Amino acid sequence: MTKQHIEQTEPTTEEMQQENEKLYQQLTNKNEDYMVKLNRQLDKYGYEESQKIAIVNQMLPVIVEEQANHNLARSIYGSPTEAVAKMNQQSEQPREVEPSPTWQRYLDGSLLIAGVFMIISAISQYIGTQTQVGLISLLVLLALGGAVVILISQYAPDENNKGFLKYILVSTVTLSVLMFFYATLEMIIPRRINILFGPQLASAIGASLLTLKWFIKSKLNIRGNII
């Protein structure tokens, strides 16, 4: 007589990610902040995107259940540094992994900045403020966005928020300079050269750039940027 084995299919990465997104929406602000810091620690250890998704998928159901009893993620797993160290059976201090090559981080940052600007432009036009991004301006954002993100990322605070004020200052100044430069370009470049994008096209371009950023970051496992 043969034994019948019931095979339990493991969830795919996509299925776990979908479940994670639903659970993230149920987190309190403190637990959401904890998961952000945990992901940074996983990045420092060089975890692949699929590995991070699987780890988060194991932790989130517990965190969501326990927060109903007023228990924070930190009280369950310890600090993000401790939690990741336990996963690796190493010391409490993470072993730093070299950031990705500069060109990869630059590309990742450029797609982020350009994509966000295009989405903001589309939203502004839909609500009637008529803030449009032109073709030349978009190319400039793609050229400079990477440098902006890399600079801001260098001042990212640690999990104890050490250096947080400096990070805010650098972020504010850097983004303000970029905004000023961008606004100046919009004023001085002739419209016949700086072709403007309407809301529909701006939305499509912005969404495409952000999707491409996510795909490339996942494919190349880009590390070192704050976002």
Same domain, 112 and 179: yes
Which domain-ending residue is among 60, 88, 116?
A: 88
Using the predicted structure, report yes or no on whether residue 59 has a pLDDT greater than 80: yes
**pLDDT per position as a tens digit, 132-153:** 788 888 998 899 999 999 999 8
The runs of H, that is alpha helices, within 25-160 are: 29-44, 49-67, 73-77, 80-88, 102-126, 135-154
User: Which pLDDT score, from 0 to 100, does residue 57 have?
Assistant: 93
Q: Is the model more confident about 130 or about 44?
A: 44
pLDDT level of residue 111 (50, 70, 90 thresholds): very high
> Is 178 within the bounds of a domain?
yes
Same domain, 130 and 192: yes
User: Which pLDDT score, from 0 to 100, does residue 93 have?
Assistant: 46
> Is 38 within the bounds of a domain?
yes
Same domain, 59 and 166: no
Same domain, 42 and 133: no
Same domain, 107 and 188: yes
User: Which pLDDT score, from 0 to 100, does residue 128 have?
Assistant: 77
User: Which pLDDT score, from 0 to 100, does residue 97 have?
Assistant: 63
User: Which pLDDT score, from 0 to 100, does residue 91 have?
Assistant: 40
Same domain, 62 and 141: no
**pLDDT per position as a tens digit, 179-196:** 888 888 878 888 788 888
User: Which pLDDT score, from 0 to 100, does residue 74 have?
Assistant: 92
Most confident range (mean pLDDT) of 7-16, 125-134, 188-197, 205-214 is 205-214
Question: 37-41, 65-69, 153-157: which range is least confident on average?
Answer: 153-157
Q: Is the model more confident about 1 or about 73?
A: 73
User: Which pLDDT score, from 0 to 100, does residue 125 have?
Assistant: 86
Same domain, 129 and 78: no
Using the predicted structure, report yes or no on whether residue 62 has a pLDDT greater than 90: yes
List C-alpha distances in Å: 178 to 1, 114, 118, 143, 166.
Answer: 74, 11, 14, 11, 18
| Whole-angstrom distance, CA of residue 194 vs CA of residue 52 | 42
Same domain, 132 and 65: no
**pLDDT per position as a tens digit, 67-101:** 988 899 999 998 998 888 888 764 444 455 678 88
Q: What is the CA radius of gyration of the chain?
A: 21
User: Which pLDDT score, from 0 to 100, does residue 160 have?
Assistant: 65
Q: What is the domain range of residue 137?
A: 102-220
User: Which pLDDT score, from 0 to 100, does residue 96 have?
Assistant: 58
| Whole-angstrom distance, CA of residue 130 vs CA of residue 132 | 6
